[in-house]
Chains A and B, each alone.
Chain A
Amino acid sequence: MASAAPSVPPSLTLPPSQFARLQPHAYLLAHLSPPASSNQPSIRANGRATSQFRVTSANTGSLTHTNGSAVVRVGDTTAVCGVRAEILPTDDIASWSVSHSSSSMNKRRKLTNPAQKPTQEEEDPEDETHIQQLNLLVPNLSLSTGCAPGFIPGAPPSALAQSLSHQILNLLHSTRLVRAEDLRIWYQPPSLGQEDLERHNESEQMDVDAERGEEVGKDKEIKAFWVLYIDIMIISLAGNPFDAAWAAVLAALRDTKLPRAWWDVDNEMVVCSDAVSESRKLSLRGLPVASSFCVFEADAAAGWRAVIIPDAEEEREIEESARKGIQRRWILADPDGYEEGLTQERVCIVVDKEEGTGKTVIVKMEKNGGWAVDGKELKALVDISAQRWGEVKHILEQC
């Protein structure tokens, strides 16, 4: 101790990294609104512009034991997604015989109706409810991987992990991304010739023959379903887990191949083909892309001082007057962990574009935790999300 005292006195200036830890709010604010004299542009502490997303990369098919897999990296947030397909025989569904007999009768009635086109039949909402009713999609997101200091590895799923799992499942259902038809395993009874049958079992199976003769060709039967277990591991979390997780799910589903499966009458079970050439990919509906934003407030206390909250009308006027002067809040795209810790208001927009027209369709729009974002801001954010859609599409198509 005594020998250390006469050495160099401690420096009174702080390196930027120390300042960022001690005064995180002031640090980010100083970056976003630099003093006019410094002639520096307004930029986020991580060097991005306010509406700039992090560098995104995707890689598919990395896991060989899954039906489809993807690794998506958005900056330092990395999500690994594996899709595993398992067979669910209809015999194992308790309510199947009841629910199916009624639905198949409906279908038969529809088929006899000449106005019904096969394409319409495919889009039949009744058919699509199978995915939701029978839980054919089972996403699960895990954060207990040591991905960030706040999450203890091996711990039970945190509230964040659970709500992300729910969001992904809900989005899979509401976008109807996976077609129910892709998950069905059909059985087509062989259409034996009428006279053939008659010759072989003339006396005993008269009734059966009569029944078959009526329904030959029509009586396709669902024997099993594919259930897709979609497991997402966030192996590194630096903010914005939803965008990365959803992109990983999307990439993995695009990569998913299901083997050709058929009903083996002799063994009374579903058999799969080994040949890769016979497997088929899922045909997904559209390509919904998620973009998240957060709102950084210049005044850290704006949330709790009751007296200063202006009316929505006043707010607009202040906004107008502040246009030239000092900005009060910034909407930051794709926030990293540091920015997420400093902000409360979140916006998440999922958009898709129609195939032919290129028209932007919003699939999900969430805004919570504050009052800075109103209609006007949301409109601007939808445009940014539509731009982001193009980028992500390009990335996913390349991998």
Chain B
Amino acid sequence: MVGPAATLTPLARADGSASYQCPSTGSNILGSVNAPVELPGRRDALKPEEATVEVFVKPGTAPAGVGERYVEGIIKGVLGRLILGRERGYPRRGVVVTLATVGGDSVGRGDSYLTLLPALLHTALLALLSASVPLSMTFSATVLAVSDSGEIIREPSTEQAAAAKSLHVLAFSSKGHLLLNESQGAFDFETWEKVHQRALAICHGTSAIGSDGDVAMVEDVDGQPLEGTIRETIEDQVHRDYAWKIDAV
């Protein structure tokens, strides 16, 4: 399975940015983060002791609609708990995350956003890291489809997702917590537990769930865990950024 490809800081003017391509779902997302910024017209309803996280999702071909509002809410919920909004310089300021779909299928009215969600989440995370926003943990996310025959498909294409019985997006923190779960379509709890286990293996590798003979096989199918891919992307970037310093030594 071909892993995702990501570039850090492709945009020069934003505080942090990332571009992310997922080959299996065909999505290509460009994200930028500006933080901390002064927000105009702060309302009393927002918490004064924390930074406000704002997320904007721009679909590829159409103006943003209700579906984007919904997915913005999900991403805001995940990032809101990870960003350390009380660090010095952040309270009463804003963290503005903008995610634009550059390539891949766009989502129509009333369609589920779940196939795009992991790509959006990863882009947001990489852009936040690129902007050096303080975070309590990192995370990795994946989307799984359960077909009619009960087979679990990792990162389904749009057609596979449309034909699937249920779709699941799960995000795990770098410490192994279940951060996000979005499931839709008919399924029972046993199916979800299988999906959960598979997703944990995809995100964290099999070491996280113990050395079971059956599970070890899954590792070969899924290749490198996503958590590692994201970590490597950051490491590469840091290596490149500090090449002058490393070379000098």
**Total A residues in contact with B, Cβ cutoff 8 Å:** 49
A→B interface (CB under 8 Å): 132, 135, 150, 159-160, 162-163, 165-167, 169-171, 173-175, 303-306, 309-313, 315, 344-346, 352, 359-371, 373-375, 378-379, 382
Q: Which residues of A contact B50 (CB under 8 A)?
A: 304
Majority DSSP secondary structure for residues of A touching B: mixed
CA gap between A363 and B183 in the complex, in Å? 8
Majority DSSP secondary structure for residues of B touching A: mixed
Question: Are B188 and A170 in contact, CB atoms less than 8 angstroms apart?
Answer: no
Question: Are A150 and B45 in contact, CB atoms less than 8 angstroms apart?
Answer: yes
Question: Are B175 and A309 in contact, CB atoms less than 8 angstroms apart?
Answer: yes
**Total B residues in contact with A, Cβ cutoff 8 Å:** 43
Question: Are A364 and B77 in contact, CB atoms less than 8 angstroms apart?
Answer: no
Name the interface residues of B55-75: CB closer than 8 Å to any CB of A: 65-67, 69-70, 72-74
From A159, A173, A344, B110 is in contact (CB under 8 Å) with A173
CA gap between A174 and B181 in the complex, in Å? 17
From A165, A310, A366, A370, B183 is in contact (CB under 8 Å) with A366
Question: Are B73 and A371 in contact, CB atoms less than 8 angstroms apart?
Answer: no
Question: Are A303 and B73 in contact, CB atoms less than 8 angstroms apart?
Answer: no
Not counting A132-B111, A311-B176, A364-B183, a sample of 11 additional A-B residue pairs whose C-beta atoms are within 8 angstroms of each other reads A166-B110, A309-B175, A310-B175, A311-B175, A312-B176, A312-B178, A364-B185, A366-B182, A368-B182, A369-B80, A378-B192
CA gap between A37 and B181 in the complex, in Å? 40
Q: Which residues of B contact A132 (CB under 8 A)?
A: 110-111
Question: Are A163 and B69 in contact, CB atoms less than 8 angstroms apart?
Answer: yes
Q: Kindly report which residue of chain A lies nearest to residue B90, judged by CB atoms.
A: A304
Q: Kindly report which residue of chain A lies nearest to residue B170, judged by CB atoms.
A: A367
Mind listing 30 A-B residue pairs with CB under 8 Å?
A: A160-B73, A163-B69, A166-B67, A169-B110, A170-B110, A171-B184, A173-B110, A173-B111, A174-B112, A174-B185, A304-B50, A304-B85, A304-B136, A306-B134, A306-B137, A312-B173, A312-B177, A315-B177, A344-B80, A344-B81, A346-B77, A360-B189, A362-B183, A363-B186, A367-B178, A367-B182, A369-B80, A370-B179, A378-B189, A382-B189
Q: Kindly report which residue of chain A lies nearest to residue B114, judged by CB atoms.
A: A170
Q: Which residues of B contact A304 (CB under 8 A)?
A: 50, 84-86, 136
Q: Kindly report which residue of chain A lies nearest to residue B135, judged by CB atoms.
A: A306
B→A interface (CB under 8 Å): 45, 50, 65-67, 69-70, 72-74, 77-78, 80-81, 84-86, 109-112, 134, 136-137, 173, 175-189, 192-193, 196
With A304-B50, A344-B80, A374-B177 in contact, do A361 and B187 touch (Cβ < 8 Å)? yes
Q: Which residues of A contact B111 (CB under 8 A)?
A: 132, 170, 173
Q: Which residues of A contact B181 (CB under 8 A)?
A: 365-368, 378
CA gap between A365 and B180 in the complex, in Å? 10
Question: Are B189 and A362 in contact, CB atoms less than 8 angstroms apart?
Answer: yes
With A303-B81, A304-B50, A309-B137 in contact, do A368 and B180 touch (Cβ < 8 Å)? yes
Q: Which residues of A contact B110 (CB under 8 A)?
A: 132, 135, 166, 169-170, 173
Question: Are A165 and B84 in contact, CB atoms less than 8 angstroms apart?
Answer: no
> Nearest Cβ in chain A — how far from B237, in angstroms?
22
With A132-B110, A159-B73, A167-B70 in contact, do A370 and B187 touch (Cβ < 8 Å)? no
> Nearest Cβ in chain B — how far from A25, in angstroms?
12
